[in-house]
Amino acid sequence: MVCGEELIQPEECICLRCLYKLPRTHNFKYPDNAAERLMAGRIPFERIASFCVYAKKGMLPPLIHQLKYHHHKEVGILLGKIYGEDLQGSDFLKPVDVIVPVPLHPKKEKIRGYNQAEIIARGLSATTSLPLSVGNLIRVVYNPTQTKRTKTQRWENVKHIFHVKNPGEYAQKHLLLVDDVITTGSTMEACATALQGCQGVKISVATLGEVF
């Protein structure tokens, strides 16, 4: 899906050469990384990390595009599994209790056929053996896409649109919020704001891509 070369066994979706060239950040190893500085003071978080750099003409955007708009769920599963392998046994992952994907509004999920964040989270869950929670954190407002919006517009577009159905389910838990790409952090901030109503909750964040 990146280079157009024919795959061979046991390759899936992406050839081994392209997998090797993915611009991984490894920033889960480094507290106070760029993503954590982006969100500093906005939400109480434990750690934030991203799998790869999301550069406009880089390798990750076409893969995310295939996942979100061309029904190639296997891309999200594969990248989630590989990211999970990177995180396995790390200090970043050790305290996490539950993986929670950022939800789509049911209307948008019906149109797309699935939630891409949930697909990535399923890959992470498969290799880390952490339980996956879907359906407790929900999106209650159907809003326009975030594409081409400013930081302020993105926040206005997402604040107050998430809700936790059963706060007790997340009480005293360390949650790993999962999404495809972190850009301005507005969506994560809105999710975390909703989750703050859960007693004793702790929040970390993992995304496939980070826009620098």
CATH of the domain at 118: 3.40.50.2020
Amino acid type, 180:
D
The answer to the question of residue 5 being in a domain is: no
Round the average pLDDT of the chain to a whole number and report it.
91
The answer to the question of residue 178 being in a domain is: yes
Count of CB atoms situated within 10 Å of the CB of 1: 18
141 CB-near residues (< 8 Å, 6+ apart)? 105, 160, 161
Amino acid type, 57:
K
User: Which DSSP symbol is given to 86?
Assistant: H
The answer to the question of residue 4 being in a domain is: no
* β partners of residue 162: 139
The answer to the question of residue 1 being in a domain is: no
Q: How many domains does the chain have?
A: 1
pTM for this entry: 0.91
**Ordered per-residue pLDDT tens for the chain, 212 residues:** 888 889 888 888 899 999 999 999 999 999 999 999 999 998 889 999 999 999 988 999 999 999 999 999 999 999 999 999 999 999 999 999 999 999 999 999 999 999 999 999 999 999 999 999 999 999 998 876 555 556 566 556 666 899 999 999 999 999 999 999 998 898 999 999 999 999 999 999 999 999 97
Q: Which residue has the tokens 């509004």?
A: 105
The answer to the question of residue 74 being in a domain is: yes
100 CB-near residues (< 8 Å, 6+ apart)? 121, 132, 133, 136, 137, 170, 175, 176, 177, 178
Domain limits for position 118: 16-210
The answer to the question of residue 93 being in a domain is: yes
Rounded to whole angstroms, how far apart are CA atoms 118 and 23? 22
The answer to the question of residue 2 being in a domain is: no
